[in-house]
Amino acid sequence: MSKTIICNRCHGEILDQDELVTSTIVFEVVAFHDDCYTKDLKGAKTIVLDNKPLNGFSGNATFIIFVVAALLWVLFADESIKWVALLALLSMGLRLVSYFRYERHLKNND
């Protein structure tokens, strides 16, 4: 199952997972070449661009932390504020969208 992944910045094709960096613009998950992200977008944090990559070690670590935090919140919080755990679904959902929309279609160079 192969899908062409296009960089949102330079509009070039991304061929493998080592080149891919996913981030969010507003609430849309978009793909960038690693070089395009590093040169132009890294460090620029605005309302529409979140500067944290969704894939890679930091994205995976954030995903795991939010899963654990949401589960603990649901288990130990008072009944009236358990709904706050739903806020963790936003971050987890973006990570899952990144994987299913982009990462699973690219070959891994390990």
Q: In the chain, what percentage of residues exceed pLDDT 90?
A: 28
More confident residue, 14 or 38: 14
Sequence-separated (6 or more) residues with CB below 8 Å from residue 48: 25, 26
Residues 80-95: tens digit of each pLDDT: 888 888 888 888 888 9
Residues 22-57: tens digit of each pLDDT: 988 877 899 999 998 888 776 666 665 667 888 889
| C-alpha to C-alpha distance for 75 and 65, rounded to whole angstroms | 15
Residue reference for tokens 């070690």: 57
Q: Using a cut of 0.75, tell me whether the model's pTM lies above it.
A: yes
- Provide the 10 A C-beta neighbour count for residue 63: 20
8 Å CB contact between 10 and 38: no
Tell me what pLDDT residue 102 has: 93
